[in-house]
Amino acid sequence: MKLLLPILAILCSLACSREQKKPLEPAFYCWETVFKPDSAAVTLLDSLQVNTLFVKILDIGKNASNGNIEPYARLEIQNTTQWKTRKIVPCVFITNEVFEGINTEKQAWLADKIATAARDFAPFTEFQVDCDWTAGTRAAYFSFLTLLRKKMPENVSLSATIRLHQYKFPQKTGVPPVSRGMLMFYNTGDVDEDAERNSIFHPEDARIYLEGAPKQYPLPLDLALPLFSWAQVFREGELWKIIPGPLPLQEMRSGGKYRENSPLEPFPARLWEVQEGTFLGGHYLRPGDRLRVSEISQTLLLETAVLARQLDLAPDARLAFFHLGIARTEHFSAQQLDQVCKTVRKQAP
């Protein structure tokens, strides 16, 4: 019996190790207002054997003129084939401002409106809420989530996005009353700062969130990694606008309307200065405006995967890339993304 106990312990340890190394299930976010994956996107999904799509169906915020809580974007489905052949997780994005000063009656009203809207996208077995709550809105947001769960069908589980600061300080920020969390492993930099560091992801900034984080997060966690780019536009020293990518960088380099400053660090944001008035992403830029362009290269994406090994992910975790439209236009291949999934699951040295 004495000899048997150590053997059982070793077998148990090996079993646990095998569970931790379970391959990550690849998934994608679809964050555009029209759901219409083209042939290139479908080929990418098929090649990577993606079964799950997290699809945003609503954006909800406060009307700036009257303060009313209302949707400002709603999903239009134009490709029903992909909707029917893959597991769809409807998502709703809600601005943190919505939960500032909201009473219980209004929380229940909002939960009812979202649950009603979600029925148009049935059937589904998971619903996800995306909101970057703060200490001031925590109580109202968590109360809303409890109400929303009660209004969903019994077979539907509720999940929520988790930012890095919420992951590191769960005792301070609280843990949302949901079944699973989706850890957004990006947006590590200060978007208001006119600096050279990549604001979407920088390894040094990410390590700050990893150091001192709890070894175990109270919820099973999935992982979201970035594929997107953006340009932060600074006017007279202040952040004026964020223009989402993909950006026409080659055109910007050859048109003579911008001056690009050479980056000095390995994972930089590229700094540009407008020399002549021009349009970018539908926005008019003045001479003297400064652009901080942050991108996710293949090298940087692998760096995020290496650091993500330190995260407390669920044994059955999914890795959701944000997002499908960008993956197609930025030419991330299925092989590259598969390598990212495999890299995350390797044990940290």
Distance separating alpha carbons of residues 226 and 224, to the nearest angstrom = 7
pLDDT of residue 6: 44
For the cut 80, the answer to whether the pLDDT of residue 15 exceeds it is no
Residue 263: per-residue pLDDT: 77
Q: What pLDDT score does 329 carry? A: 66
Q: Write the class of the CATH domain 19-228+296-345.
A: alpha beta
pTM above threshold 0.85: yes
pLDDT exceeds 50 at position 7: no
The pLDDT score that the predictor gives to residue 100 is 96
Eight-class DSSP state of 197 = B
How much of the chain exceeds pLDDT 70, in percent? 92
Spatial CA neighbour of 110 closest among 68, 77, 63: 68
Residue 206 parent element (H or E): helix 203-210
- In degrees, rounded to 5, the angle at the alpha carbon of residue 32 between the alpha carbons of residues 27 and 34 is 110
Alpha-carbon distance 4 to 6, whole Å?
6
Sequence ranges of the domains in the chain: 19-228+296-345, 229-295
Residue 348 has pLDDT above 60, yes or no: no
Tell me: the pLDDT tens digits for 18-31?
355 589 999 999 99
CA 147/CA 129 separation, integer angstroms: 13
pLDDT digits (tens, 9 = 90+) for 56-83: 999 999 998 998 999 998 999 998 998 9
Q: E-assigned strands of the chain?
A: 25-30, 34-35, 52-62, 69-74, 76-77, 87-94, 126-130, 157-162, 180-184, 221-226, 230-235, 238-244, 258-261, 270-274, 278-280, 283-285, 290-294, 318-322
Per-residue pLDDT tens for 91-120? 999 999 999 999 999 999 999 999 999 999
Q: Residue-wise over 279-310: b if at least 16 C-beta within 10 A, else e?
A: ebbeeebeeebbbbbbbbeeebbebbbebbee
